[in-house]
Structure 1
Amino acid sequence: MVTGYEREILKKICSTRADVIRRSSMSKMACARTYHSSPRPISDLSASDSNKVYCIALSPDGKKVVSGSKDGIVKLWDIDTCKIITRWMGHKETVVSVCWSRDGQRVLSGSGDGIARQWGVESRETTLESIETGHVFLWAVVYSPNMIATGGHDGPWTGQPIEGSIKIWDTKTGELVATLKGHTWTVGCLAYTKDGKTLISGSDDHSIRTWNTKTWKQTALLQAHTNQIWAIVTSPNDHILASASYDNTALLWNLDIGQPIGPPLWHVNFVDSVSFSGDGKLLATACCDTNTYTWDVAGIVKEAGLDDLLLNSKVS
């Protein structure tokens, strides 16, 4: 358990056994740190920027970090120097979601202004006209090899359930490819499996849904959480899904059959982020009690008699 911060920290990057684990929680200050397995901070990016950070993503090569902040600016950081490489401006509202393309050449950002933007890491310029998604509030953006998926809130803020959609866009043209419907409230998080064959969504309607990326049809409905789902992530081999919820739990799921693995991982407050280690044997969860917890995924899976889920990646 990582403790010792007097203020809530919005986003961190943690390293355990040289495998990257991300930590995120709502905060009152901007801070990004990297950790050895001790854990102890080995770099602190907070000195370069004081604006409140809402999202963060590590580059595929582990050398850069991209962050989105309240001022609507997307920032690219160098981990070794702890300096900002560039600032991308264009969003008019808080940037709440960022991600990297798999080749590390592009960054995708989503904002409360309902717009998704794509940025070139080398050119430092936009590589695609802004996508006006139609979401009243855009909560999630994610890349597949050739598609962009967005999810958000699609109606007025009444406090009542309203249909949340997922929209699929072409990465080269920015044209709408498909609209996926099924969730009955805001879609707050998205993830692709590594093979690109399945898109996974989590929602305020307490459900997780999986979608076939060839037909764009729903393939499974995963239900066990009792409150909104804040984050989802797939294991390196695509067999296991981890989810974080405001019901104070994280769950591990067998993606092959859409069922939970073992009991809920209980916390004392909301869980707002989850991430696997590089070998998939550990899970980090970020709780709104300002602590980060690590869990023995391998032990949980073996105890459930599902050792096969720990086999090497099925991506060819």
Structure 2
Amino acid sequence: MTSPVNKLVQKIIKVNRDEQGVPAIAFLLKDEHIIFTSHDGCLQIIETKTGKLVGGPWQDKERSHICAVDVSPDRREVVTGSKNGKTQVWKWNASGKTLKMIAESKHVAAANCVCWSRHDGGAHVASGFDDGSVAVWLVESGLKNPMRIDDTRLRYIHAIQYSHDGTQLIVSGYDREIARLTIDEKAQEVQVDEVIITCNNPDDVSSATWASTTFGHAIVAGSSDGKIRKIELPEGRVSELEGPGHSDLVCAVVLSPAYRYVIATASRDSTLRFWNLNTKRTIGQPLPHSADLTCAAFAANGTLVATGTCDGEIYIWDIADSLSKAMSTEDVNVGSRRRRKC
């Protein structure tokens, strides 16, 4: 259960030549391409195997500064958030290697984070804004007439994630608190269900995601002090994952699509770490980088992890063998088992 993670780097790709950071990253259809935002706010795409840039860079006519990215469940479409308040949906054409913007909406404050629903096949997207508000759109509406909440009890929002069943969202925004929101599609409303205080010190929640344990659902949060905390639901009990952990701000907490109890965390201490949520301990050794991390994403099959750094590099890690040795077969996600049988 403690086999070290194989420090095999498939590729290290310098994508920003002037050593500017990579704010957001995700894998596209069949994991053959990776989409990311560059320091100048453009969308760019590279081939996973070669690291070669594909087309682009892509940007709308207003040259919106894109700072957030998420992909649809089938990984054919992309939702982005921009500093000028725009939420946009883009269509990826893998054969033509083109990216086309197909819908957009604009808010008065920056759209710092975006997420795509999974429970309904990707029918909805949500955005969190710099004024503490949240909007949820039906994608086929062209991002019109959103369900919106203006007061989430947070001053600003920098992370947003759907729950497993799509009825709730969690939002955090560089504060000690996480707000849990309930989505009522019949009433077309988003309401605050609960505000969870993650710790008793002033350290901020810098990233968060929903997760599962043997005891049920949980929220996993990374903070500015490098701590990883698990909030058990529905009782809200908070506990720290045991180290050795990070020594600086955790910029990303990402749930594995292959192992239901595994998360990856990326930090400004220049490392990527893996955790078993049941044992609340790290898996293997941290994966080192040349500079502070800014983002991380799993491939759809869970065998690759891509990370972006503040000096403009993208790392692609092959973790298939190491995680399979470290985790039991009972920890494998049902969806992952179905993919392997196919």
TM-score by length of 1: 0.86
Which one is further off, 37-46 or 169-178? 37-46
**Partners of 1:229 and 1:118 in 2: how far apart?**
26
Percent identical across equivalent pairs?
Answer: 24
Opposite residue 203 of structure 1, the aligned amino acid is: S
Query: Comparing both chains, which one has the higher relative contact order based on Cα–Cα distances under 8 Å and sequence gaps of 6 or more?
Result: 2
1:3 counterpart residue number: 14
- The alpha-carbon distance between structure 1 residues 15 and 174, as it changes in their structure 2 partners (threshold 3 A), is closer
2:70 counterpart residue number: 57
Q: CA deviation at 1:58?
A: 0.7
- The alpha-carbon distance between structure 1 residues 38 and 15, as it changes in their structure 2 partners (threshold 3 A), is farther
- The alpha-carbon distance between structure 1 residues 47 and 98, as it changes in their structure 2 partners (threshold 3 A), is closer
Q: CA deviation at 1:269?
A: 0.9
| Contact 1:251–1:263 under 8 Å retained in 2 | yes
Q: Secondary structure at the match of 2:284?
A: strand
Opposite residue 278 of structure 1, the aligned amino acid is: A
Opposite residue 99 of structure 1, the aligned amino acid is: C
Where does the alignment leave 5 or more consecutive residues of structure 1 unmatched? 155-163
- Pairing 1:179–2:195 present: yes
**Partners of 1:143 and 1:13 in 2: how far apart?**
17
**Partners of 1:215 and 1:307 in 2: how far apart?**
27
Which one is further off, 142-151 or 73-82? 73-82
Instruction: Pick one of 143, 151, 160 that aligns with 1:132.
Output: 151
Instruction: Pick one of 139, 152, 161 that aligns with 2:173.
Output: 152
1:217 counterpart residue number: 237
Q: CA deviation at 1:283?
A: 1.6
Q: CA deviation at 1:226?
A: 0.4
TM-score by length of 2: 0.80
Q: Secondary structure at the match of 1:295?
A: strand
**Partners of 1:93 and 1:74 in 2: how far apart?**
11
**Partners of 1:129 and 1:274 in 2: how far apart?**
28
Q: Secondary structure at the match of 1:153?
A: coil
**Partners of 2:226 and 2:266 in 1: how far apart?**
11
Opposite residue 2 of structure 1, the aligned amino acid is: I
1:141 counterpart residue number: 160
Instruction: Pick one of 276, 279, 285 that aligns with 2:301.
Output: 279
Instruction: Pick one of 190, 202, 205 that aligns with 2:208.
Output: 190
- The alpha-carbon distance between structure 1 residues 24 and 43, as it changes in their structure 2 partners (threshold 3 A), is closer
2:220 counterpart residue number: 200
| Contact 1:96–1:112 under 8 Å retained in 2 | yes
Q: CA deviation at 1:214?
A: 2.4
Where does the alignment leave 5 or more consecutive residues of structure 2 unmatched? 1-11, 338-342
RMSD across aligned positions (CA)? 2.6
1:274-305 C-alpha deviation (Å, 9 max, x unpaired)? 12222222221111121111223233336xx5
- The alpha-carbon distance between structure 1 residues 63 and 180, as it changes in their structure 2 partners (threshold 3 A), is same
**Partners of 1:309 and 1:131 in 2: how far apart?**
44
Instruction: Pick one of 114, 121, 130 that aligns with 1:98.
Output: 114
Q: Secondary structure at the match of 2:241?
A: strand
Opposite residue 202 of structure 1, the aligned amino acid is: G
1:39 counterpart residue number: 51
- The alpha-carbon distance between structure 1 residues 34 and 307, as it changes in their structure 2 partners (threshold 3 A), is same
- The alpha-carbon distance between structure 1 residues 15 and 58, as it changes in their structure 2 partners (threshold 3 A), is closer
Opposite residue 47 of structure 2, the aligned amino acid is: Y
**Partners of 1:73 and 1:85 in 2: how far apart?**
13
Instruction: Pick one of 101, 114, 134 that aligns with 1:84.
Output: 101
2:313 counterpart residue number: 291
Q: CA deviation at 1:20?
A: 6.9
Q: Secondary structure at the match of 2:198?
A: strand
2:282 counterpart residue number: 260
